[in-house]
Amino acid sequence: MEIIYILLGIILIVVPLMLSVAYLTYAERKIIGYMQVRIGPNRVGPRGWLQPIADAVKLMFKEIIIPTNANTFLFIIAPILVIAPALAAWAVIPFMSGWVLADINAGLLYILAMTSIGVYGIIIAGWASNSKYAFLGALRSAAQIVSYEIAMGFALVGVLMAAGSLNLSQIIQAQNGSIFHWFWLPLLPLFVIYFISGVAETNRSPFDLAEGESEIVAGFHVEYSGMLFAIFFLAEYANMILIAALTSTLFWGGWLSPFQGTFLESTFAWVPGLFWFIIKIALFLLFFLWFRATFPRYRYDQLMRLGWKVFIPITLVWIVVLSVFILVKLPPWFV
C-alpha cells in the first residue's frame, strides 16, 4: 500500500516536472528572442505554444545513430545516467509544509550526492561515443564539475550551519519570520556563489564549455541523435529547475510567503505555499536564461581560476564569518 503512495508521489512530481521542462525550452526561446529583438517560435499553434510538443514528436521519430566502434551499452546508458540523478534529487525537496516525498534527515547530503553523480553520464557519453570532440567535451565537463562542486559544497555547509539541520523542511522552518529572515541576507556571498556554481554545474551558458559549439562542435553529445539526444536535453533543463528549486529552498525560504511579517501577511494568507515556491523557481530560471542572453562563454583557464581562486577562498572566509555570527547570536537570524 505504501509503495502505491510512493509511486503516486513520484508520478505527481515527475509529470509536472517534465511538462515544465518542455515549456522551459519554449520560455527560453521566447525570452531570449525578445531580449535579442526577435519574436522566437510563433508558428506551431497559437503564439507557438505547441512548439515544445512538435519538437518532442520530431525527436521521437528520428533515427538513433550509434557511431562505428562506439561502446553500444555505455552509449545508450549515458543519457539515462544523466537524467536519473536530476530526477532522483527531487525526492527530498519540500513543495509545501508536509508535501515532500522523502522527509529524510540527511536531505542536504543526499542532494549533494545526487548532483555529484550526474557527471558520470557526461563522461561516459564522451568516452563511449568514440569521437574526439565528444571526448574533449567530457574531459572539460569532468574537470569543471569537480571544481565547482567544492565551492557548492562549502556554500551548503554555510546553510547547514545557519539552519542547524540537514533536513530541507527544517532548513525552511529556520528561515521563518520575514523576507529578511531568509538566508539570502546573512549568507549573501554563499548564495551568489551557490547560484553561479549551480549554473556551472548544469553546464549552462556562460559555463557551457562541455558543449562549446564554436570550438568542439557540441561537446559530449555531438554523436547523439533522436531520443537519446532529447534525454540529454531534458536532463539539462531538469537540472536547471532543480538548481532553481534548491536555491529558493536553501536561501529564499522555499514555500514561505514573501509577505510574512508585513501588513500584507493576512491578505495573502490564502495563497498556498506551493505558489510562492513556483514563483521563486521561475525567477531563478529567468536568471538562467538572462545569463545565457547576456554573457559570452568563459575561457577554460578563466573558468578554473574563478572556481578555485575566487569562489573557494570566499566560501571559506564566509564560513568563518558565519561561525562568528552564530557565536555572538547575531539577531535576527541566529537568536
Partner 1 sequence: MEKLTFYFFALILIFAASRVITVKNPVHAALFLVLAFFSSAVIWLLLRAEFLALALILVYVGAVMVLFLFVVMMLDINLTTLREGFVRYFPIATLVGIIILVEMVLVVKVWKNPADTTMSTITAATVETTVVEQSNTQILGKALYTDYVYPFEIAAVILLVAMIAAIALTMRPRRQKYQKPEHQVSIRREERVRLVNMPAESKD
Q: Which stretch binds partner 1 (CB under 8 A): 86-94, 132-140, 186-194, 235-243?
A: 132-140
The Cα angle at residue 101 between residues 251 and 195, in degrees rounded to 5: 25
Say how many residues touch partner 1, by CB under 8 A. 27
List C-alpha distances in Å: 94 to 78, 102, 127, 237.
29, 9, 36, 20
SS3 261: coil
139 lines the binding site for partner 1 (CB under 8 A): yes
Question: Considering only CA atoms, which of 229, 38, 250 is closest in space to residue 125?
Answer: 229
CB 316, min distance to partner 1, A = 13
74 lines the binding site for partner 1 (CB under 8 A): yes
Q: Which stretch binds partner 1 (CB under 8 A): 19-27, 36-44, 105-113, 289-297?
A: 105-113
Rule CB under 8 A: which of 273-332 touch partner 1? 301-302, 305
Please identify which residue in 31, 35, 104, 282 interacts with partner 1, judged by CB under 8 A: 104
Tell me if 60 sits within 8 A of 226, measured CB to CB: yes
123 lines the binding site for partner 1 (CB under 8 A): yes
Question: Considering only CA atoms, which of 305, 309, 304, 313 is closest in space to residue 155?
Answer: 313
Please identify which residue in 23, 120, 259, 268 interacts with partner 1, judged by CB under 8 A: 120
109 lines the binding site for partner 1 (CB under 8 A): yes
Nearer to partner 1, 127 or 284 (CB): 127
Please identify which residue in 105, 176, 294, 323 interacts with partner 1, judged by CB under 8 A: 105
**Sign (positive/negative) of CA torsion 65, 70, 73, 78?**
negative
**Alpha-carbon gap, residue 85 to 234, rounded angstroms:** 12
**Alpha-carbon gap, residue 80 to 198, rounded angstroms:** 21
113 lines the binding site for partner 1 (CB under 8 A): yes
127 lines the binding site for partner 1 (CB under 8 A): yes
The residues of the shown chain that bind partner 1, judged by CB under 8 A, are 74, 104-106, 109-110, 112-113, 116-117, 119-120, 123-124, 127, 135, 138-139, 142-143, 145-146, 149, 166, 301-302, 305
